[in-house]
Amino acid sequence: MLAGMVAAFHVGKAPPALPSIRADLDASLRQAGWLLSIVNLVTAVGGMAIALTADRLGHRRLILFGTALCLATSLLGGIAGSADMLLGLRVLEGLGFICVVVAIPPLLVRIAAPRDVRIALAAWSTYMPTGAGLMMLIAALVLPATSWRWVWWIAGGAPALMLLALLLRTTGRHELDSVTAPRRPIWCG
């Protein structure tokens, strides 16, 4: 569940940092709008495709990949020299975000005791407001003394720690192994 909250950092970091980004990168209002909304667009467009392949790729593997992608894109975004480069990295951040948040619920259902599934999914529903809200708070505290780049690097540090924790805590846990999904056509005809 913490991996989902850390992924949500990448949704919450942009709104408070936008004035600093616009000033530093001379971003237009249109670019600023895209910087805010591109993660949501990637989620809407790519969510279904990733959800359909999550069983085949493995939920744990997808969470690790998405966390690593959020880490890399956030650190690289902190050194972006243009709004267009930052926008491209935000597309990849959106992909990392959706990989994490699509893979976690089925894994929770599989590893929770049957009597605890509803509680686990209810707790999971807090990932977005908690993660995005916490990152907005961190950004509000950091931005007056620094620039948006520090917000990106802090948001990149969180998935670095999460990736390490996931690797240490999930390696060797067989209940997290991939489950072979039955192969059937997506389109029923």
Cα angle value 99/78/167 (rounded, 5°): 40
Domain parsing of the chain, residue ranges: 2-167
Cα angle value 177/100/76 (rounded, 5°): 125
Residue type, 149: R
**For 151-178, what is each residue's pLDDT tens digit?**
999 999 999 999 999 999 877 655 555 5
Which pTM value belongs to this model?
A: 0.87
Superfamily of domain 2-167: MFS general substrate transporter like domains (1.20.1250.20)
Per-residue DSSP letter, 157: H
**What is residue 57's predicted lDDT score, i.e. its pLDDT?**
87
Could you tell me which of 84, 79, 66 has the C-alpha nearest to residue 10? 66
Judge whether residue 23 has pLDDT over 60: yes
CB 6 within 8 A of CB 162: yes
